[in-house]
Amino acid sequence: MGCTFFDTAEGYGAGMNEELVGEAIRSFRKDVILATKLHILEDGRPLKKVIQEHLDASLKRLKTDYVDLYYQHRVNKRIPVEEVAEVMGSLIQKGKIRGWGQSQATEEEIRRAHAVTPITAIQSEYSMMERMFEKDVIPACEELGIGFVPFSPLGAGFLSGKYTEKDTFVGDDVRRVITRFQKENMKANRPLLEMLHWFAKQKKATPAQISLAWMLHKKEFIVPIPGTRKEERMKENFGSADVILTEEEYQALEKELEKITIYGNRTDEDIATLKEMN
């Protein structure tokens, strides 16, 4: 279907997802853009050595000798971004990575790091339900020529319209701790889904496709990465690239979104707690 951008991380399934992705793209590795991420924790060792060890382990699991895009998976506030940027620059010079990025970074962190080694992309949560980065981060990315890669562009699946307050989330499903999926908030957020269903009907598309088409229409440097567990959902998401919004339709969507209040939020702390519980 033309997908050439694959995103994984050392933390997904304790490295097992990197192994799966590496095996899956092995025969056409040179034809795709491969992104992965690392968590940096302070352990007293030189930062350069730590990052190099993480990268080498990822490369081994991915069965490749380079990655196109290497992210710091959430910015560690206790490690200067300038130091991380300097190490990433040396890895680019060695050809181990083609570019680097940050996840959930602030505008200040982006500018400081970019001044040391130009950033390729910023990956942060962004959707019709979470738009805080429109205030400063996305404009900064546009100014500096940095790509913006939204994760959870469908609001952890809520914008697909396939979940209701009757659904129950168990096990390691992160929706257990995302407050938008609390029954009272799902009910309160129905107006957003009703609006999406109406637009989808007009465009002969699905709510998920309208959500992604809205994002794709915004800026050329915004490249969402919807995740899915089912092939049919994957095809549906890819189909959003064929749903072309006119400027009038886009502005109409924006006008309706301004009228809607979003209830609930998602925090890194909540998701970290869930991981500790499992």
Tokens of 49: 């050595």
Contact status, residue 180 vs residue 174, Cβ threshold 8 Å: no
**Annotation says 71 is catalytic:** no
Can you give the length of the chain in residues? 278
Contact status, residue 64 vs residue 84, Cβ threshold 8 Å: no
How far is 91 from 8, CA to CA, in rounded Å?
19
How far is 161 from 186, CA to CA, in rounded Å?
11
How far is 148 from 71, CA to CA, in rounded Å?
12
How far is 225 from 212, CA to CA, in rounded Å?
10
- Rounded to 5 degrees, φ, ψ at 176 are -60, -30
Three-point CA angle 85, 87, 92, nearest 5°: 90
Q: What string of DSSP letters covers 171-213? A: TT-GGGT-GGGSHHHHHHTHHHHHHHHHHHHHHTS-HHHHHHH
Choosing from 12, 163, 250, 263, the catalytic residue is 12
Enzyme catalytic residues: 12
